[in-house]
Structure 1
Amino acid sequence: MLMSFVDSDEPYKYALISSSHDPVPLISPFYPAPMYDLDQDLTMPRIGGCFVSALRGLLCVRLLRSVRICNLTTMQRVTLPIITSRIVPENNENIWSYFGHEPVHDEYKVLSTVWEVSEEEKVVRSEHQVLVLGHGASWRSTRSTIPPPPHCPYMHGISINGVLYYGAWVDKNRCVVMSFDMRYEDIDLWFVQDAGKSGWSDKKSFVLPIFETRTLSMASRLLIQPTSHSSEICLKPEEINRHNPRCVIYDLERCKITRLINGMRIVDRFWGSTFMETTFWDDIESIMYLET
């Protein structure tokens, strides 16, 4: 198993940590699941850049408009073609990228968005390009049939069944939820079905038993982070420190904690970070040969 830790304020500060041994079984009402000790650092040296995302044993980072894909198993790395834009100059840093997997055709895609902001801090234009990893890869426009509203993403997002969901700003006072279909490359805006009632069209409630959260009892607030399993989420304290270095993996369908994660070994590296984004997944090895 593997977890990524990313400083939200400084995304060039990140770590990829795995467990090098089997989990420790704990039989106790205070520890309702096996404990994984993250003790193996998989971060590739001198890779540089800001963390984009990682999945299926591959890591994606971006340095300005240069995107790199790295294989954590073979230690191979490739640099993708430079991202170009028709709407913003090369020195403009309004750029966001996401690395994902399209399961139907077994394709890896990088989605990149650039945007232009007016003096009133409104996003007036945005451009969305896709690169399919493989021989002769190049950037092209998405196949979205309906142009999405101009927006600038502000979070890494979460993928569910081949669809990426992410938050985005359209102006300084309004944010929205966008989705990107990895197969059809449609970019859609999600909206509240009845604005007067402020209710989402599809909503479910989940109850986390109090006794199962005692491992996180020192946290003032719990944050929900994604995992590689559609039915599981990662619950973590708002700030990971020596007093509370653990996360839990919670299965929404079975309504129980399935794993405990001990992150004590990475606490010192992120000393002073106010918020870290974490992602957990099981598939960490890949023998895929990278080519462009």
Structure 2
Amino acid sequence: MKSAAMTITAPYFSDADPNSYKLRLTTSGTGTHSIWKRYIVKEVTVLIKDNVNYKNTACYSRADLHMKTADGRYYEMNDYAEEFILYWNMKYNTMVQMKTVRCDNDRANCTCAVSVRAGGDIFLINLCNGMKFIGMTTCNDNLLDIQKYSDLEYQMLKYFLIPKQMSVLTFTGTVIKIHITQLPDYDDMLNIDLDIKMAPKDFQSISGLCGTFDSDSGNDFHTRNGTVTDRATFINAWRYHSTATSSATSSTGIFREDRTIIVVTMLALGTAGIAMATTVTKRSFRIHNV
């Protein structure tokens, strides 16, 4: 008797994955006895059991900056404004970077830009220094799926229409939720809150400000070589332009302020003066409603 092995990949993202599938096998029409050609095997139910309790596990970055690692360790990050590596899955070549600036009269930090990279794809939101950039800077591998939650979930900000909330879904199942808010107490600054929902392929495979995701919060504060350290050294180690940056993160200018991606046209419709936005991107990418 011959046996066959195969890999089944679920075409779903995040926690919405079903825990069972129906598997139907059909033989080919060539290379076998005629009675077995295009033979359909009785449908088999495949039950999925997770080895890691990854569901509802998330790392986040919130205004001021309030941080939480994937393993649940909370810390503050107001030491200095810089570009940081928030999440890095080296095994699957996916990374989330963030840029922070001083806010609240120089008493805190806020996030004004975020980039998500998977393979040769980079999705970027840059709201720093008056920028209004939302789009793909490269789109070579089609590994990212961009979702906006509703056409109604837009906010009018000084003649620009900005989505309030978006999600970036990676090919590994990791979900990066992006929430854009205007902070009235911070001179109406635009801030980006980030929640990164872990996937099974992130377990024991990530590093950065999100920690290690190995069910041990004690080693979340780590340097690039994995050494456990204090909070300040940990934050400094994950500065994007740190002297410890490896060649894998050596690309520069991801947050440069010379991009113009959103072109907004004002259309006066009656007395309402409704704002209509036209998005122009260098390359096409998918954005659809959840």
TM-score per shorter chain, which class?
under 0.3
Highest CA radius of gyration, 1 or 2?
Answer: 2
Question: Whose relative contact order is higher, 1 or 2, with alpha carbons under 8 Å and at least 6 apart?
Answer: 1
* TM-score of the aligned structures, taking structure 1 as reference length: 0.27
* TM-score of the aligned structures, taking structure 2 as reference length: 0.27
